[in-house]
């Protein structure tokens, strides 16, 4: 996500929730991603956490009062309102939501929210009954209608002991939502993107399975890119090291057969399908229900699994984009071209696996983008976020130009 934040100015508004201490972690991650963070605290927030920590983390003075004498005149509400690329209010109490919705401006933060035209992102945190109160829900609906974005709240045990919605959501979903808010290109609004991601585990017996080393990072990168560009995203996720983005619909599966069924059940409703999962090519001919005992060499009888992306390509309707991946150890672009033709795809991402250039589980990959009736385009050694952007560009271009098979 670094490219979304580098060089951006984020105003981090902190209000008087018990979760205010978590703003330090949020600020730290934003700075780590390359953003310039201007912290602003309400008086209530200062009862929960001290400004010194935030100043040390961000390298910027914390804005505390409307009429506070400042050595830097740039830190005042109009100047900051104009400079900001994003206003992130985390945690956001019922009080600040009410002020923002009703146009009340009685402190620095609420006044600056009126003055800015930057995107607004609220991460609510409050007692469950306060969150569910009709007044709060009406304020949230009004802010959303005006274009503000929300992430959370999460559910669970609150500091007051109640159980339910109201917890400040975890930092990673907040960062994902901030990345989406900072993305001006919304060329996939109204589009639905279906992604298969991760590995498959094909059982041998109750405790063993055949699998591969897929981490799910490519599927996550595709899902996040699509969400940032405004798409509705569903991820059919096999076992993986990383979770799909919070805002995506996630369907959990284990085997290739389960993945096939989940993909095809949702395929007709999508505009773009990316088969990013490392689907198991084979499964056991018969799975024993009793643990196989160690007794020397054994032979496993394997049978082919369904080819999910090829089946999807065969049944696609007019106007759908179907794209796949080819993980190869040698002759990478040549094998990618052959796989593209054999499966009838619109385009394919061929990448090298094995050795130092292994794509599986790594953050970078040596890759080629191969379109139907086109020469392989080398992407060099690229990060998976950059690859995801190129793939979504290619899919969006096909949809815009209506050059899909009829």
Q: Is 331 within a domain? A: yes
CA distances for 93 relative to 13, 87, 147, 233, angstroms: 11, 15, 19, 29
Nearest partner of 52 among 82, 93, 24, judged by Cα: 24
Residue 381 lies in domain: 192-401
CA distances for 235 relative to 108, 139, 182, 240, 262, angstroms: 41, 31, 23, 12, 10
Q: Are residues 163 and 248 in the same domain?
A: no
Least confident of 15-29, 34-48, 374-388: 374-388
Least confident of 88-92, 166-170, 208-212, 326-330: 326-330
Please, which pLDDT band fits residue 404 given cuts at 50, 70 and 90? low
State the pLDDT at residue 364: 75
Active site residue 95: no
Residue at which a domain ends, from 159, 181, 203 = 181
Q: Is 158 within a domain? A: yes
Q: Are residues 42 and 85 in the same domain?
A: yes
State the pLDDT at residue 53: 92
Nearest partner of 349 among 361, 366, 363, judged by Cα: 366
State the pLDDT at residue 126: 94
Residues 177-197: tens digit of each pLDDT: 999 999 999 999 999 999 999
Q: Which helix (H) or strand (E) holds 9?
A: strand 9-14
Q: Once rounded to an integer, what is the mean pLDDT over residues 29-35?
A: 97
Please, which pLDDT band fits residue 162 given cuts at 50, 70 and 90? confident
Is 60 exceeded by the pLDDT of residue 323?
yes
Distance in Å from the first CA to the final CA of the chain? 36
Residues 107-117: tens digit of each pLDDT: 999 999 999 99
SS3 164: strand
CA torsion sign for 342, 191, 185, 13 is negative
Q: Are residues 149 and 207 in the same domain?
A: no
Q: Which helix (H) or strand (E) holds 89?
A: strand 86-92
State the pLDDT at residue 72: 53
Q: Are residues 105 and 202 in the same domain?
A: no
Q: Is 266 within a domain? A: yes
Q: Is 78 within a domain? A: yes
Count of domains for the chain: 2
Q: Are residues 154 and 199 in the same domain?
A: no
Is 70 exceeded by the pLDDT of residue 358?
no
Q: Are residues 198 and 164 in the same domain?
A: no
Nearest partner of 236 among 218, 221, 249, 217, judged by Cα: 249
Q: Is 334 within a domain? A: yes
Q: Once rounded to an integer, what is the mean pLDDT over residues 31-39?
A: 96
Q: Are residues 348 and 262 in the same domain?
A: yes
The CATH number for 47's domain is 3.40.50.1950
Q: Is 254 within a domain? A: yes
Q: Are residues 162 and 306 in the same domain?
A: no
Q: Once rounded to an integer, what is the mean pLDDT over residues 41-54?
A: 92
State the pLDDT at residue 355: 63
Catalytic residue among 60, 95, 127, 212: 212
Residues 104-143: tens digit of each pLDDT: 999 999 999 999 999 999 999 999 999 999 999 999 999 9
The CATH number for 262's domain is 3.40.50.10300
Residues 330-345: tens digit of each pLDDT: 899 999 999 999 999 9
For the chain, how many residues are written? 406
**Mean pLDDT value across the chain:** 91
Q: Once rounded to an integer, what is the mean pLDDT over residues 45-52?
A: 91
Q: Are residues 33 and 145 in the same domain?
A: yes
Is 80 exceeded by the pLDDT of residue 52?
yes
Residue at which a domain ends, from 135, 152, 181 = 181
State the pLDDT at residue 357: 54
Q: Are residues 236 and 371 in the same domain?
A: yes
Q: What is the percent of the chain where pLDDT is above 90?
A: 76
Is 80 exceeded by the pLDDT of residue 359?
no
Partners of 302 in beta bridges: 284
**Residue 120 burial by Cβ neighbours in a 10 Å radius (0-12, 13-18, 19+):** buried
Q: Which helix (H) or strand (E) holds 350?
A: strand 347-352
Q: Is 215 left (phi over 0), alpha (psi -120 to 50) or beta?
A: alpha
State the pLDDT at residue 352: 87
Pair type for strands 163-167 and 154-157? antiparallel
Helix axes 308-315, 332-343, angle to 10 degrees: 50
Is 50 exceeded by the pLDDT of residue 66?
yes
Q: Is 406 within a domain? A: no
Record the pTM: 0.89
CA distances for 256 relative to 77, 201, 271, 284, 310, angstroms: 55, 8, 22, 12, 14
Please, which pLDDT band fits residue 374 given cuts at 50, 70 and 90? confident
Please, which pLDDT band fits residue 406 given cuts at 50, 70 and 90? very low
**Other beta carbons within 10 Å of 392:** 25
Please, which pLDDT band fits residue 78 given cuts at 50, 70 and 90? confident
d(CA 7, CA 10): 10
State the pLDDT at residue 195: 98
State the pLDDT at residue 328: 87
**Other beta carbons within 10 Å of 223:** 29
Q: Are residues 200 and 68 in the same domain?
A: no
CA distances for 271 relative to 89, 189, 322, 325, angstroms: 34, 11, 9, 18
Q: Is 187 within a domain? A: no
Which residue pairs, CB below 8 angstroms and at least 24 apart, start in 132-139? 132/164, 132/165, 133/94, 135/94, 135/98, 136/94, 136/97, 136/98, 138/101, 139/94, 139/97, 139/98, 139/100, 139/101, 139/102
Nearest partner of 179 among 93, 249, 83, 85, judged by Cα: 85
Which residues are CB-neighbours of 245 under 8 A, at least 6 positions away?
Answer: 173, 176, 220, 223, 224, 227, 233
Residues 248-287: tens digit of each pLDDT: 999 999 999 999 999 999 999 999 999 999 999 999 999 9
Residue at which a domain ends, from 181, 206, 230 = 181
State the pLDDT at residue 381: 87
Q: Are residues 374 and 254 in the same domain?
A: yes
């Amino acid at each position: 996500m670094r490219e979304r934040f580098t060089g951006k100015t984020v105003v981090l508004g902190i209000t008087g929730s018990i979760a205010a201490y978590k703003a330090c972690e949020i600020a730290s991650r934003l700075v780590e991603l390359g953003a310039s963070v201007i912290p602003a605290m309400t008086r209530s927030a200062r009862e929960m956490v001290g400004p010194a920590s935030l100043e040390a983390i961000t390298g910027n003075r914390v804005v505390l009062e409307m009429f506070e004498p400042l050595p830097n005149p740039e830190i005042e509400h109009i100047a900051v309102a104009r400079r900001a690329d994003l206003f992130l209010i985390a945690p956001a109490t019922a009080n600040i939501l009410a002020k923002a919705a009703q146009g009340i401006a009685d402190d620095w933060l609420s006044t600056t929210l009126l003055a800015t035209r930057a995107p607004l992102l609220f991460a609510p945190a409050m007692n469950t009954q306060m969150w569910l109160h009709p007044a709060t829900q009406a304020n949230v609906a009004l802010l959303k209608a005006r274009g503000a974005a929300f992430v959370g709240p999460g559910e669970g045990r609150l500091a007051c002991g109640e159980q339910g919605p109201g917890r400040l959501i975890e930092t990673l979903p907040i960062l994902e939502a901030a990345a989406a808010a900072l993305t001006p290109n919304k060329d996939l609004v109204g589009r639905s993107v279906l992604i298969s991601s991760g590995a498959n585990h094909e059982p041998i017996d109750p405790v063993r399975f055949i699998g591969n080393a897929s981490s799910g990072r490519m599927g996550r990168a595709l899902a996040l890119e699509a969400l940032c560009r405004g798409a509705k995203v569903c991820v059919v996720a096999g076992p993986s090291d990383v979770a799909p983005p919070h805002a995506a619909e996630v369907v959990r599966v284990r085997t290739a057969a389960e993945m096939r069924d989940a993909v095809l059940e949702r395929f007709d409703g999508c505009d773009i399908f990316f088969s990013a999962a490392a689907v198991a090519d084979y499964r056991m001919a018969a799975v024993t229900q009793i643990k196989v005992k160690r007794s020397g060499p054994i032979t496993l009888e394997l049978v082919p699994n369904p080819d999910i992306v090829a089946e999807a390509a065969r049944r696609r309707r007019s106007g759908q984009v179907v794209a796949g991946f080819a993980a190869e150890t040698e002759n990478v672009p040549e094998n990618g071209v052959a796989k593209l033709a054999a499966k009838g795809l619109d385009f394919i991402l061929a990448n090298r696996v094995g050795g130092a250039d292994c794509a599986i589980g790594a953050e970078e990959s040596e890759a080629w983008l191969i379109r139907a009736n086109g020469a392989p385009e080398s992407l060099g050694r690229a990060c998976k976020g950059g690859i995801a952007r190129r793939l979504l560009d290619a899919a969006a271009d096909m949809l815009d130009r209506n050059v899909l098979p009829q």
